[in-house]
Amino acid sequence: MLDIRKPTRRYIRSPKSVGGWLPPNKADVLQWVKKMADMSKANPPPRSGPVKALETLINNNAEVYMLFHEMMVEAVAGMTACGKSPIDFPISDVTHLLDTLDVILTTGPAFFSAGDPQIGTPINALLVWPMATKAGFAVFIRSDVNHALKGILDYWGAFLKSRNSCSVLTNAAGGWFSAAALADPHMQHFAETYVCDPTKPHWGFKSWDNFFTREFQPNLRPVCEPKDDSCIINAAESTFFNKVDRVHLRDNFWLKGQPYSLYHMLDGDARASQFVNGSVYQAFLSADSYHRWHAPVSGRIVDYKIVPGTYYSEPILFGFDPDDGAPAPDAGADENSQGYISAVAARGLLWIQADNPKIGLMCMVFIGMAEVSTIDVTMAVNKHFQKGEQLGMFHFGGSSYCLVFGPHVKLNWKISYNQVHINSELARVI
């Protein structure tokens, strides 16, 4: 029997608009998508292998063919309903969509001076309006489509780890070390903040991925009370999204409020039942954040699992057809859907046995957002680590993470609605 009950949980949700992956101004996103769409229309690129595989799936599977084509029709109709004319949606059809996708795969993300924040996840920007349709919801939840998308993201990830991706790591216009970029609030004091060498080509970075996973300068983020096991620290440079107590084993994670569903979040693991009536804390990393994760407690990883899932799925309530109110698709694609994606997106589960017996077993859930398809665990299983040691990283894009505690863990939380430094105090065990 499903354990779905009326909400009795206590939760705190950030009152701020979440963001950091795409500009909150839809016009900025449209401007960027139009630029890419115009490039692909003027000079259609050769079809890459993984995009060709997606195209073959679309053309050969009747359901996928129907959904992709209906998605494009609904996107234009939805833009019109939101006060946009069809000409404002720059992607004309499925072939044009795939051509534009192939254009994106040939370069590293450039600095976009019109955007605040940046176009942190370019493919997400391309799909903001298509994924907000009913057909988009149906297509991006499918396992066969997500398998094809994983091939595309792996292909692009390999490019972003290559020397060729350094073309945007320059001081030229559109480069991340241009005068405009270094004047951006998110990039100011870059050399003092991150390990780099401004005297070398590309400031010493070997690839876009190397730039993206850059490390802080030594001692820039000291560990809060390293010898006090009652102090839990922030595991990522991140901004608070939600904190819920008395979480349920199964819940309606796709509905308004996006309650956490432990069974689905933890991929059906038998240990999920140990956390019923416990707490979940969730925070998000912006696209220009530090993307490595540190241990929130001292202990060891008992085991971990990489869970395949969705990349561009958002619930209907944030699309063109909400249950109530006017249609207003999430400008950040799936930024407002972070509770929902904790149950369906590609993610990594790290089961940690904390040294502090008042904590015991806990789980860290690292959630891939859109292009962030690679979740890289660098700490060995069963190797003891100290609070603040590095556990792993995300490769490219914005991302989200959860800390899951059992019902026996009593915590005083230090909630901040601004970005919280990694290694700073997050909560204290009572």
Give yes or no for residue 13 having a pLDDT over 70: no
Give the model's confidence band at 109: pLDDT under 50 very low, under 70 low, under 90 confident, else very high.
Answer: confident
CATH architecture for the domain at 225-309+345-429: Distorted Sandwich (2.70)
Most confident range, picked from 2-11, 69-78, 206-215, 389-398: 206-215
Instruction: Write down the pLDDT at residue 5.
Output: 37
Mean pLDDT, residues 234-249 taken together: 95
pLDDT of residue 319: 77
Q: Where are the domains of the chain?
A: 26-164, 166-212, 225-309+345-429
Which has more confidence, 389 or 183? Answer: 389
Task: Please report which confidence band the pLDDT of residue 288 belongs to, taking 50, 70 and 90 as the band edges.
Answer: confident
For residues 260-286, one letter each, b for 16 or more C-beta atoms within 10 angstroms of the residue's C-beta and e for the rest, the string is: bbbbbbbbebeebebbbebbbbbbbbb
What was the pLDDT predicted at 6? 39
pLDDT at residue 30 is higher than 60: yes
pLDDT at 4 over 70: no
Report pLDDT digits (tens) over 391-418: 999 887 558 899 999 999 999 999 998 8
Q: Which one-letter amino acid corresponds to residue 185?
A: P
**pLDDT of res. 235:** 97
- pLDDT tops 50 at residue 8: no
Residue 259 three-state SS = coil
Examine the pLDDT at 70 and tell me if it is beyond 90: yes
What is residue 317's predicted lDDT score, i.e. its pLDDT? Answer: 79
For 7, the token pair is 């909400």
Enter the pTM of the model: 0.90
Is the pLDDT at 333 greater than 60, yes or no?
A: no
Quickly state the pLDDT bin for 330 (edges 50, 70, 90). Answer: low
Q: How confident is the model at residue 331 (pLDDT cuts 50, 70, 90)?
A: low
Calculate ∠ Cα 45-109-195, nearest 5°: 145
Task: Report the chain's mean pLDDT, rounded to a whole number.
Answer: 88
More reliable by pLDDT, 329 or 135: 135
What is the predicted pLDDT for the residue at 21?
57
- Scan for tokens 């115009």, then name that residue: 38
Residue 355 has pLDDT above 90, yes or no: yes
**pLDDT tens by residue, 171-197:** 998 899 999 889 887 788 999 999 999
Q: Which residue has the tokens 């890289």?
A: 376
What is the model's pLDDT at position 403?
98
Q: How much is the pLDDT for 1?
A: 35
Distances (CA, A) of 195 to 44, 213, 219, 359: 39, 11, 12, 34
Q: Is 414 exposed, middle or buried (0-12, 13-18, 19+ CB in 10 A)?
A: middle
Is the per-residue pLDDT at 244 higher than 90? yes
Kindly state the average pLDDT of the residues 268-280. Answer: 98
